[in-house]
Each structure stands twice: as structure tokens, then as C-alpha cells.
Amino acid sequence: MIGNIANAVAIIAGALVGLLCRGGIPEKYNKTVVHAISLAVLVIGIRGAMKSDALLVIILSLALGSLLGEMLKIEDRLVMLGKLLEKRFAGDDEGFYKGFVTATLLFCVGSMGIVGALESGLANDHHTLFAKSALDGIFSIILGSSMGLGVLFSAFPVLLYQGTITLAAVVIKPYLQPDVVAQMSAVGGVLIMAIGFNFVADSKIRIGSMIPAVFLPLVWYMLLELVG
């Protein structure tokens, strides 16, 4: 769990630095930086989405995963949690929950979090999570300066999400074939692209409800193994 804790600490530290800079950055510069980071997020997503050629698996995972996420109301629950935290800790800061939801999704859906958490649980190897911590810390500075305190609180769902994957790694180890991991990374890349679109075009893609899609390639493989 060391890597996961380091990741959460990096997010908190980065968000605190961003909050300290928030009042000192003129709005026009802030907006330009956010757009630049949005384009970087799109590039990261495109690179991740190209890690697998199994288009049918990716499409089915996105479609069925989105349906499952809507049934579970993941996006709505995440927004509700953000608003509860906003009411408790941020008072009249109406941007709190948006920063919380955006940062949580950005830090959770990428392949580095999944692969790093699996490496941490299977081999006690934290290098990927340490690298992710550095990246998330930088993003937290930028997001914290533009979106406020909610970014800091995203560290806790990230810790819970990746920690759960780390603890479950031993159970799912036999099914983690390279093709399956690549498909999971590709689905995660598509969701990161969606985050970039939400930034750039102020879209309303419900990415939170698509999170189950990341794990469906693993489910497909496990079902095929059982049938075979």
C-alpha cells in the first residue's frame, strides 16, 4: 500500500500548492493553462486507447460498462459525495464538487493507476505508482489553482480505489494476461480522452458511470476461462 499512500499524499500536496497559487494567477492565464492541460489529457488518452486492437472488446466494454454504471448511479453518487463534502468543508465554494469529481475521475481511470496497483499487490513493486504520484502531483497543482479545494479531497477516493485493486490483485492474478491488461488500458484511455473533451469543450460526458467498463475486459476473459 506504500505506493497508493504516496499517490494520495502527492495529490494532497499538489492541491495545497495549487490553492496557495490560486489567488495570484490572473483568470486569463488560468484559463489558458487549463486548456493546455486539457490537450495534454487528450494526448494521454489517445496513447492509452491505442494499446489494444481488440476493438470489439473495447466497444462492448464501453457500452455495457456504461449501462452498469448508470444502473449503479456511480456518477450521481460521486457528485452527491462531492456536494456533501462541499457543504461540510467549503461553504459557498460552488466549484468544489466539480473539482472533486473531475480530479477523482482523472486520477482513477488511467492505466497507470490500475497497472501500478496490481504491481504493488502482486510483486510489492511501487515504481509505477511512484511515477503516477509525480504526474498526479503536477496535475493537482494546476487543477487546485483553477478548481479549488475539491481537488485535494479527490485523494481519498483514489486511495480507496487503487487500494482495493492492490488487495484484490492476488485473487485475479491468474487472469491478468498481457492482452487483458492492454484492453483495460485501452478502455481507460478512451475515458481519459472523454475527460479531455469535458475540459476543452465543456461537455457533459458522464465519465463516472463509465468506470465499470475498464474492468469488463477482465470479466470477459474470466468468463471465457470458466466456459473453456
- Residue 24 is predicted with a pLDDT of 62
- Residue 95 is predicted with a pLDDT of 72
CB of 35 closer than 8 Å to CB of 167:
no
pLDDT digits (tens, 9 = 90+) for 114-137: 888 888 887 888 888 998 998 899
pLDDT digits (tens, 9 = 90+) for 5-50: 999 999 999 999 988 887 666 667 777 877 887 888 888 888 888 8
Q: What is the DSSP string of the chain?
A: -HHHHHHHHHHHHHHHHHHHHHTTS-HHHHHHHHHHHHHHHHHHHHHHHTT---HHHHHHHHHHHHHHHHHHTHHHHHHHHHHHHIIIIITT-TTHHHHHHHHHHHHHSSHHHHHHHHHHHHH---HHHHHHHHHHHHHHHHHHHHH-THHHHTHHHHHHHHHHHHHHHHHHGGG--HHHHHHHHHHHHHHHHHHHHHHHH-----GGGGGGGGGHHHHHHHHHHHH-
* Average pLDDT rounded to a whole number, residues 141-151: 86
Cα separation, 208 vs 228, in Å, equals: 33
What percent of the chain clears pLDDT 70, i.e. is strictly above it? 95
Q: Which domain holds residue 212?
A: 2-227
CB of 56 closer than 8 Å to CB of 74:
no
Q: Which of 82-96, 129-143, 204-218 has the lowest mean pLDDT?
A: 82-96
User: What is the domain count for the chain?
Assistant: 1
pLDDT digits (tens, 9 = 90+) for 88-97: 877 666 678 8
